[in-house]
Amino acid sequence: MKHIPTIVNTILATILILIMLSMGLPSLSVQAAAPTQTSKSVQSDAPACSPDRSVQVTGTAVVNIPPDRALIQLGVESNGKTPREVQAKNAALISKVIQAVKALGVEARDISTDRYIIQPIYIPYDSLNIDGYRIHNIVAITIRDVDRASDVIAAAFQAGANQVVNVEFYTSELRKYRDQARAMAMKAAGEKASALAQAAGAETDCALNINENSWSYFNGWNWWSGGRDQNLWTQNAVQNVAPSGSTTTASEDGPVSAGQISVRAEVSVTYALK
């Protein structure tokens, strides 16, 4: 036990020597070696696209395509003395219309009720004397074979339909043709800008601003621009797309003709000049 104080004193002396040595040593710091050459950002010698000189043009493109879908809205209107009576009459007629349409190959998923209205009949009209009730029942039918549109309407009327509310043709690939028309419109705008710039002794640079307006319409008619003649104003960008798997358009033997759908894109582009 008499050796314990000696051991403790030795340890304390060792610690004291280490502390003194650490305080006496010069501090070391790690510094990153200075680069021999200062790095510089690489800049292109070409001047930046400047908006100081610019040309603004429009480009328009029209893609005419045959429709592959038709939406037919047929009305079945019924009158009756009581709500129960008119509902029974209308339900019977609607059932016959649906069965007649299904017989032509239209699937149940493509037939739906679009509108159902029941209202009293006043006699005289501006009085509160109810003489009966009337139901307006509109059925929406999607046709996947547009050549059968006239046949579907005829069969529905034979079964009891008494109104054609609307017939609308459209394409299931609108996004595809709208993108195509948009690309054609941009190409037309670029060609026009280049021609104008060359005429002024300049060249086009990057596009500074782009605005786009696209729409589609049935049989080339658009009420705000005057119908088919608007296609004459497009800039070398009209394309007619043939029906898939066929060389002819929809049949025109019936009262309803599918014709073509025009998908139109218009862009306004501002190009910088150099």
Give 44's contacts (C-beta < 8 A, 6+ positions apart): none
- Give the mean model confidence (pLDDT) for residues 201-205: 93
> Residue ranges per domain, the chain?
54-66+173-245+258-273, 69-170
- If you average pLDDT over each of 55-69, 96-110, 203-217, which comes out highest? 96-110
Task: Tell which CATH classification among 3.30.30.10, 3.40.50.300, 3.90.650.10, 3.30.110.170 matches the domain 54-66+173-245+258-273.
Answer: 3.30.110.170
Give 215's contacts (C-beta < 8 A, 6+ positions apart): 222, 264
Instruction: Categorize the per-residue pLDDT at 7 as very low, low, confident or very high, splitting at 50, 70 and 90.
Output: low
Percent of the chain with pLDDT over 70: 68
> For the segment 107-152, what is each residue's pLDDT rounded down to a tens digit?
999 999 999 999 999 998 888 899 999 999 999 999 999 999 999 9
- The verdict on pTM exceeding 0.75 is no
- Match 């009459």 to its residue by tokens: 89
Q: Which CATH architecture has domain 69-170?
A: 2-Layer Sandwich (3.30)
Nearest-angstrom CA–CA distance, 185 and 114: 37
Is-cis flag, bond preceding 83, omega within 30? Answer: no
